Structure 1
């Protein structure tokens, strides 16, 4: 089975989500939209693959906003078209953070600024813990999803909708894919300054992440299994 993984920047990899997909028999093809040398000038040109070529599409996080035309207007339309076409073809789509925001936009929902950002590990309220557990999940976002028409809200917290599903597509606002290496990369690429602005202690964040590594791996495995078995309809 072929899975397309849209990696928007050089740091945010499929991580724990990708590891579980491979364990479930998927052959991952990862495409990176913005190379490392354009991280701070992400208005690149990128041609997205055809949706029909894949059995599964995963759209990962990114440090930009879906609606920021000045930063990513050169390529976000192509991604929205990919996600919209995949969904309409019945190809399962998993959107993660920015990927969830792109998914909801592609399907007729919206994205807006959150009342406050979320950075760090949090638990969430879930209507379907067998699909999306309480966590704790890594959060790092300033925007929030307005789910598309007909979508089912699966989880939320006081800040925003944390998970929604529509057909064979699932969007999650948090980061089940997170690894310690990935978090260190975010901090190195401007995340440390963001943490300082928001009053987040980076040493505590890294220590908490090390402590939660086993639980994060288990949570990611359960989420991927729930997505494949309950949303995508793929059996073991």
Structure 2
């Protein structure tokens, strides 16, 4: 089984999601849209693979906004076209944070600024804990999805929809793939200053993320298993 993983930047990795997919027998092909030397100027040219021929597509997070045409207008249209075609072909998509926002936009929804950012580990309200556990989940976002027509919201909190399903695809606003190493990279790439601006202690966030590793691993396994068997495998 072949899974396409869209990494939008060098800092974000498939992490715990990728590990669980490999345990299920998936062969991961990872592509990176914005190379490391263009992290602060992401208006690159990128040719996305075709949606056909994949058994699964994962679209990961990114530090940019889906609607920021100045920053990513050179390539976001290509990703939206890929996700839209995957949906029409019945190829399951798992969208994570930015990936969920891109999925929503591709299918007729939109993305808007959230009333406040979410940075850190939070619990959510879920309609189906066997598919979307209530967490705690790692969050780092400033935007939120406006769900596309026909999508079903599965989880939420006071800030935004936290998970939705549409067809054979699932979008989650939080980061089930997160590892301590990736949190460290986020902090190094300017996230530390963002934390301070929003009243979050970067060192405490890193320490908390390290302590959460066993819980994060278990939650990621449950989410991936639920996605594969109950969403992506649905007729």
- TM, length-normalised to structure 1: 0.98
Show the counterpart of 1:165: 165
What is the total number of aligned residue pairs between the two structures?
A: 234
What does 1:191-210 correspond to in 2, within 5 Å? Answer: 191-210=191-210
In the alignment, structure 2 segments of 5+ residues that lack a partner are none
* Residue of structure 2 equivalent to 1:66: 66
Q: Secondary structure at the match of 1:51?
A: coil
CA distance in 1, matches of 2:203, 2:39: 24
Counterpart CA distance in 1 for 2:11 and 2:38 is: 12
1:3-53 deviation per Cα after TM superposition (whole angstroms, max 9, x unaligned): 000000001000000000000010000000000000000000000000002
Aligned to 1:111: 111
Equivalent-residue separation in structure 2 for 1:165 and 1:156 (angstroms): 13
Corresponding position of 2:25: 25
- The aligned runs of 1:66-85 (5 Å cut-off) are 66-85=66-85
Alignment of 1:69-218 (within 5 A): 69-218=69-218
- 1:207 offset after TM fit, Å? 1.2
Give the match's secondary structure for 1:52: coil
**How far does the alpha carbon of each residue in 1:151-190 deviate from its partner, in whole angstroms, 9 at most, with x for none?**
0000000000000000101000000000000000001111
The CA deviation string for residues 102-142 of structure 1, in whole angstroms up to 9 with x for no partner, is 00000000100000000000000000111000000000000
Question: For 2:179 and 2:162, how far apart are their aligned partners in 1?
Answer: 20
TM-score (normalizing by structure 2): 0.99
Distance across 1 between alignment mates of 2:36 and 2:211: 29
Matched residue, 2:53:
53
- 1:232 maps to 232
1: distance between equivalents of 2:181 and 2:142?
A: 22
RMSD: 0.6
Q: What are the ranges of 5 or more consecutive residues in structure 1 without an aligned counterpart?
A: none
CA distance in 1, matches of 2:143, 2:53: 31
Whole-Å separation in 2 of the counterparts to 1:111 and 1:207: 31
